[in-house]
Structure formats: structure tokens, C-alpha cells
Amino acid sequence: MQWLALSLVASIVLTVALNVALRLFPRAGDRLEREVVNLASPSRTDRPNGSRVRVVVPWRAMLLVSLLLTLLVNVWLWLS
């Protein structure tokens, strides 16, 4: 039971830390998004029209799903 509480607390602390970091450095999220897009996309010379594809990362949904899956796995392990 102690590992379940530790897992929940760790998930919440990491979520809060990420949100606080994004609030402390407001442009960091935009800068990070640009860097990820630049890394994921081929160079402009590879595309004839030079168009860019915007990649949207649903980070809030990813955090929520991660928290729910952590809970589900821990409850399942606790019951078995």
C-alpha cells in the first residue's frame, strides 16, 4: 500500500513541477515546441514549397493518461 501512495505522490509532484517550470519560463513551451518540430521535420531544402507541418503535443492529455494508467496498474498489482 505504501508503494501506491508513493507512486501517486510522485506523479502529482512531477505534474506540478512541470506546470511550475512552464509558468516560471513562459516562452519555454513555445521554444521547446519549435525545437521538437525542427528536429522532427526534414530540412526546408527537401520540400519543394518549403511548407512546415505543425506538430501539436497534447501534454495535458498525456499527463492525465499517465496518471490514470499509473493508478490502474498500481491498483491491479495491489489486488493481485
Number of domains in the chain: 1
Task: State how far the Cα of 33 lies from the Cα of 10, in Å rounded to an integer.
Answer: 25
This model's pTM is above 0.75: no
pLDDT of residue 22: 78
- Helices (H) then strands (E): counts for the chain: 3, 0
Residue range of the domain that includes 63 = 2-44+51-79
Question: Could you report the per-residue pLDDT of 43-73, keeping only the tens digit for each?
Answer: 555 555 556 666 667 777 888 888 899 889 8
pLDDT of residue 38: 80
Task: State how far the Cα of 11 lies from the Cα of 28, in Å rounded to an integer.
Answer: 22
Phi, psi of 26 (to 5 degrees): -60, -30
Answer for the pair 4, 63: CB distance below 8 angstroms, yes or no: no
Find where cell 511550475 sits: 20
